[in-house]
Amino acid sequence: MPQVPAGRVMAALGAVLVGAAVVGLWFGVRRGAPPPVPAMAPAPASTAATPPTATVHVTGAVVEPGLVVVPEGSRVADVIAAAGGSTGSADLGAINLAQTVADGDRVHIPNVGERIEQPTAEPGGVDLNRASAVELETLDGVGPVLARRIVEWRDAHGPFATVEDLLDVPGIGEAKLAGMRDGIAVP
């Protein structure tokens, strides 16, 4: 084997050491440096409006009677769910679970065998824009079907501006309106 001069060995060894130092320094700096943070766009401000709600007083055979807040346009079934559900003694067949509720309504969930009293007209008459279908049935000549049509018309078209707007509800003509008029509070 030929002999390599000592100077060359030392030079090669020095080059290896310098190279190792450079590599070690490069890795050390890289490891100690925090990773780059990608630029993030600011979160967009929420432009969605809070949906309207209705506060309803629920009583009777529910787990948590009292005030519940439900989205506007909710039904009696939604109110029961918001009150923790019905109890085992609830008579759900005695009420209309699909009836819509409005802010300020009171919903009573009867127990099996409980006598359900039909509400009487308010002093001054039934408020067409707030009355439930059951309350509308207190008007002369209004049964469950016509009461439901009145509520559906109100839900679809908004509040009644005049008593005469009832003529737009299917099943109400001049004669029917004349019979109901005395029991209606003028909007």
The tens digit of pLDDT for each residue in 3-33 reads 656 666 566 655 665 665 556 555 555 555 5
Report domain extents, the chain.
Answer: 51-117, 118-187
In CATH, the architecture of 51-117 is Roll (3.10)
In one-letter notation, the amino acid at residue 31 is R
Q: CB 57: neighbour CB atoms within 10 A?
A: 15
User: What is the SS3 assignment for 13?
Assistant: helix
Give residue 121's pLDDT: 44
Sign of CA dihedral 168, 171, 172, 174: positive
In one-letter notation, the amino acid at residue 152 is E
109-131 pLDDT, tens per residue? Answer: 999 988 765 554 445 688 888 88
| CATH of region 118-187, choose from 3.40.710.10, 3.20.20.70, 3.40.50.11060, 1.10.150.320 | 1.10.150.320
Query: In angstroms, what CA-CA distances link 2 with 8, 12, 14?
Result: 13, 17, 21
Where in the chain does DSSP place strands (E)? 53-60, 66-71, 106-109, 126-127, 184-185
Burial class for 184, CB neighbours closer than 10 Å (0-12, 13-18, 19+): buried
126-178 pLDDT, tens per residue? Answer: 888 888 888 898 888 898 899 999 999 988 888 888 899 999 999 999 999 98
| Predicted structure pTM score | 0.44
Which of 151, 71, 62 is closest to 107 using CA atoms?
A: 62
